[in-house]
Amino acid sequence: MYLCYSDLIESNYHTECVFYLKRKDHYYYRAHKEGYRSRAVFKLKQLNNKFGIFRGAKAVLDLCCAPGGWLQIAREELGDEGVVVGVDINKISSIDDVNFICGDILEEETLNQILSVSKEFDVVLSDCSPKVSGVWSVDHERQIFLAKASLNIAKRVLKKGGTLVIKAFQGNEYPQFLNEVRQCFDYVKTTKPSASRKASAEMYIVAKNFRKK
């Protein structure tokens, strides 16, 4: 089980975990009605409205993309042009004009597969959530580990001046991770879109103008 809905604040973590996985809210039903694969699409739409994530982008990489909601938005935003690549450890059903790689972002081989599709990207997205252990400190550490792996991939594939959008759970490891992102980009903002559940510990880091070395 992956932590799509249950990325909760530390308090009541165990009991709320089950509740959140089952709870279907306004965004869930709206996603279903509008033909999107996840309620997470509304987070990305809100981030894009605020920060112009896809402005001028021709190549987008989406790490931890299943079931594919963010890929649908990326494809919509790029129109008929450009390349959209998604990576997840779990398979997804195909999306027109989207390259999907089934792989673990912690494996070097996955990076090689990404590079075989495109050498450079304008935008890297990362919405990674770990397998739930039910122990907050463990899940927090695992999530930040995935976020760090995403940052490392972004450093290898982003164009100079590129954009990174990355989810990170707030907790002990969060400030240091945020600093690592700040060292690589000129512009870094943290934000919580209204489609993100209030009780969730997730934050989205929007980093622009990648300083490629």
Ligand X SMILES: C[S@@+](CC[C@H](N)C(=O)[O-])C[C@H]1O[C@@H](n2cnc3c(N)ncnc32)[C@H](O)[C@@H]1O
DSSP state of 151: H
Nearer to ligand X, 201 or 209 (CB): 201
The strand ranges marked E within the chain are 59-63, 83-88, 99-102, 121-126, 158-169, 185-191, 202-210
Nearer to ligand X, 109 or 186 (CB): 109
Q: Counting contacts by CB under 6 A, is residue 75 touching ligand X? A: no
- Which of 17, 37, 53, 139 forms a contact with ligand X (CB under 6 A)? 37
DSSP state of 131: B
Residue bearing tokens 């490629």: 212
> Distance (Å, rounded) from C-alpha 188 to C-alpha 89?
28
Coil, strand or helix: which one is 69? helix
Q: Are 191 and 48 in contact (CB under 8 A)?
A: no
Return the CA Rg of the chain. 16
Q: Which of residues 119-158 bind ligand X (CB under 6 A)?
A: 127-130, 146
Phi/psi zone of residue 14: left (φ > 0), alpha (ψ -120 to 50 degrees), beta? alpha
Nearer to ligand X, 90 or 137 (CB): 90
Q: Counting contacts by CB under 6 A, is residue 105 touching ligand X? A: yes
Whether 167 is a known active-site residue: answer: yes
Closest chain position to ligand X (CB): 69
Q: Which two three-digit tokens encode residue 177?
A: 């991770």
Q: Which of residues 153-212 bind ligand X (CB under 6 A)?
A: none
How far is the CA of 199 from the CAs of 19, 74, 127, 159, in angstroms?
12, 27, 17, 35
Taking the complex as a whole, the smallest distance from the CB of residue 145 to ligand X amounts, in Å, to 9
Taking the complex as a whole, the smallest distance from the CB of residue 186 to ligand X amounts, in Å, to 26
Nearer to ligand X, 89 or 161 (CB): 89
Where does this chain touch ligand X (CB under 6 A) — which range of 10-18, 74-82, 93-101, 104-112? Answer: 104-112
Catalytic residues: 167
Binding site for ligand X (CB under 6 A): 2, 4, 37-38, 40-41, 64-70, 87-90, 104-106, 127-130, 146
